[in-house]
Structures are given as C-alpha cells and as structure tokens.
Amino acid sequence: MTPLERARCELKAHPLALDAGLAAGVLVCMVAGSFALPHGTDGVTWGIRTPAPLSLLLMLLAAAALVPRRRAPRTVLALTCTLSVVECVTGDPRAPVAMSAVIALYTVASTTDRTTTFRVGLLTMTVLTAAAMLFGPLPWYAQENLGVLAWTGIGATAGDAVRSRRAVVRAMRERAERAERTREEEARRRVAEERLRIARDLHDVVAHHIALVNVQAGVAAHVMDKRPDQAKEALAHVREASRSALSELRATVGLLRQSGDPEAPTEPAPGLSLLEELAGTFRSAGLPVEVARADQGTRLPAAVDLAAYRIVQEALTNVRKHAGAGARAEVSVVRVGPHIEVTVVDDGSGESAPGNTAPGNAAPEAGGGHGLLGMRERVGALGGTLTTGPRYGGGFRVHAILPVSTTDNRIEGGTTAPGEPV
C-alpha cells in the first residue's frame, strides 16, 4: 500500500477529524478573503480593510457548522445559508461566509439523489444570489453577485458527480462480488454433480457384480456338501464376477485421475456391444435372459451407449434381486425415429419389486432405491424419459427413451430406418 493510499484509509477511518480539518481550512480561506477588496478595485486590493467582529463571528459559526456535515447535511446547509444571508444584511465590510454554504451544498449533493440535488441546489442558488443582489454593497448587476450563483452551481455539480462516481464504483463492486458468488456457487454445483456422477457410476459398477457374487456364494454354501461340483462352478462364477467388478471399478477410479497422471486407463466405457456378454453373466447366475437386438452395426454416441448399457445392467440386477425364483427377463433395444428405446421386462411375482412393496410383503433390501434413481438421473441428463412400474398380470417393466441425433446414428453404407430394431 502506497503512503497516499494509507493516508486515505486513515482519513476514512476518522471522518470527524477530516471534517474538522476541512472546517479549519474553510475558516482560514474565509478570513483571508475578508481582508480583500471587491474585484475591480484599483490599486492594492488585499490588506486594506479588516473584518468586523460580527463578520468574524459569522465566519467562525459557519466553519464550525461544517464539522457535523456528514451526519446532518441538510441541516448544515440550512444553517450556513442562513448565516450567509445574515452576513449580507449586517456584514460591514462583507465576509465570504457563502463559502461554507457551497461546501454544505456539495455535501448534500454527494449524499442524495439527482432530483433532490437539483431542487436543493436551485433553492440555494436563488436564496444566496438574491441576498447578494438585494443587500450587498455592490449594484445588483455586479459580477461578484453572479459569482455567488456560479460557485453554488459548481458545488452542486461537483457533489452530484462524486455521488455518481460512488454509485458506479459501488455497482462495479457489487457485480464483482456477485460474479464471485456465482463462481463459487457454480463450483459447488459442479462438485455436487461430480459427486452424484461418481456415486451413480460406482453403484452401477459394483451393485451388479456384488449381487451376482451374493447369489452365487449362497448357491455354493447351499450345495457345498451334497454337490461339490456345482459349488465349485458357483465359486468360479463368484471369482469371475469379482474380477469383473474390480476391473470396472479400476476403470471408474481411473477416470477420476488428473489428465497428467501416468497410467491413465485407455479401455473404452462399456456399451451395447457388450450386451450379450452382460446377459451371459446373468444367465450364469440362474436368470434366463433373452435379448432382442437385430443390428449390431449401429453407432451410438458414447453417452447414450453407456447409459443404455447401465440401464439394462441395473434393470437385470433388480430382476435378479426382486423378481423371485423362476423369473425370466427380456431385453429389447429398438430405434424409433430419432430415439433409442431400451426395454427390460420380467415375469416375476413382483412382490419385492423396487418401489412396489405392499403391506405384508417382504421389503426391499436395506439401502435400496438408488438403482432406479440412478437410471432416472442418467436418462434425464440426456433429455430422455424413463418409465418404470409393475406389468399387468405380474412382473416389472423398465422402459427408457433416449434421444439421439440422427447424425450420430449413421451406419457405414446407410442409416437405420425408423422403427427398425437395432
């Protein structure tokens, strides 16, 4: 901080002392001006006359009135104007008491709006100029009388300019603070969205495989003594599901690494190209799954491809967990116009379907409900719609419509016709 800035800060911290110093300076100027003869006098014009005691008293009172000018600017203006009029009527010789009124008018103009400044300034100029013309020792048309009009106008104009500048600086500061708050809110929003995305991805990656591990481990424990071969097969499925979970979890965590970190994962995110492999994992866990997807050559945007895969994965996981024994699942992926429709249905009892627990039925597993919420968030982020609910006659249905740009669905050698399975 420079010495000038430090001095300004000190003065702002002690406004009363600053006003007292200003009042003292104005008093010195008024007293010095009272020794001067009117403008236009021949010969020596200063030091020839001395102010009368009444004039000195008026100047002292006018200067003292400026000390509380910040606390009561209009009162100070009224008092200094009154003293100036009294000086014009009784002062002999004249003293420049109107100088204090100019400072008071500046203070009023710098602390109020422009309309009030115009009205108060016009009234002050009229009163002081009329008093000088009517009661002054010079003819009414003397330029000293017009000087009173000019100086009061300058005081009002300067005060209004200072007020306008303060308003501009205040507005700029408020905009800067608002922009800073907006940046902070945007950063918090991005952090919240990133946390939500991470939670959704971790749920999608881990829940499916852990559910399979839980099922196969239960099977192995049940048949360990009587059918060791089947138990060994179930444990092999447990190992495979665990390996897949670790692999996908490693890839998901790798996405959180900074771009400059070494050994960043280069494996592509899962998509519908792995749909048969996904269905196979559920078949191995004892859930019959049928997949209806005729064309494997359709290109989908990465976000849509991943969302469709995760929707199928989560829906089949819910079928395995909630549909009951003997349930079957059907998966279909169809393009209808500029949309991709993903449907997963099952024919289970639906008694423990997510979000469909009835009185007397078994409740879903503790902590459930995040899967459907995650699917809805994924679809909503892409501008699509998700419909879930029980089917007529039993079972549960998950139906997602994902909008896809037609330019992103072109196949080499042509495009998929609307309504054609993909």
Between CA 315 and CA 331 the distance in angstroms is 9
Handedness of CA 218, 221, 223, 227 (dihedral sign): positive
Alpha helices (runs of H) in 352-409, residue ranges in sequence order: 370-381
Please give the mean pLDDT across all residues of the chain.
Answer: 78
Lowest average pLDDT, out of 131-135, 199-203, 376-380, goes to 199-203
What pLDDT is recorded for position 80? 92
Residue 107 or residue 245, greater confidence: 107
Residues 31 and 59 sit within 8 Å (Cβ to Cβ): yes
Phi, psi of 150, deg, nearest 5: -65, -45
What pLDDT is recorded for position 136? 72
For domain 273-355+371-422, give the CATH superfamily: Histidine kinase-like ATPase, C-terminal domain (3.30.565.10)
The residues spanned by each domain of the chain are 3-180, 273-355+371-422
Band of pLDDT at residue 417, cut at 50, 70 and 90: very low
Percentage of the residues of the chain whose pLDDT score is greater than 90: 18
CA angle 388/382/267 to nearest 5° reads 105
Q: Could you read off the pLDDT of 94-122 as tens digits, one per residue?
A: 668 888 999 999 999 999 999 999 999 99
Q: Is the pLDDT of residue 294 over 70?
A: no
CB atoms within 10 A of CB 34: 22
Q: Could you read off the pLDDT of 332-361 as tens digits, one per residue?
A: 998 887 888 899 999 887 554 454 433 333
pLDDT, mean of residues 273-301 = 81
Q: Could you read off the pLDDT of 44-86 as tens digits, one per residue?
A: 555 566 777 888 888 899 999 999 988 899 999 999 999 988 8
Owner of token pair 């991805």: 201
Between CA 372 and CA 392 the distance in angstroms is 20
The number of C-alpha atoms within 13 Å of 354 and in the hemisphere containing its C-beta is 23
Q: Is the pTM of this model over 0.75?
A: no
Alpha helices (runs of H) in 91-142, residue ranges in sequence order: 98-111, 114-135
The number of C-alpha atoms within 13 Å of 209 and in the hemisphere containing its C-beta is 18
Band of pLDDT at residue 305, cut at 50, 70 and 90: confident
What pLDDT is recorded for position 139? 75
What pLDDT is recorded for position 224? 79
Percentage of the residues of the chain whose pLDDT score is greater than 70: 77
What pLDDT is recorded for position 145? 76
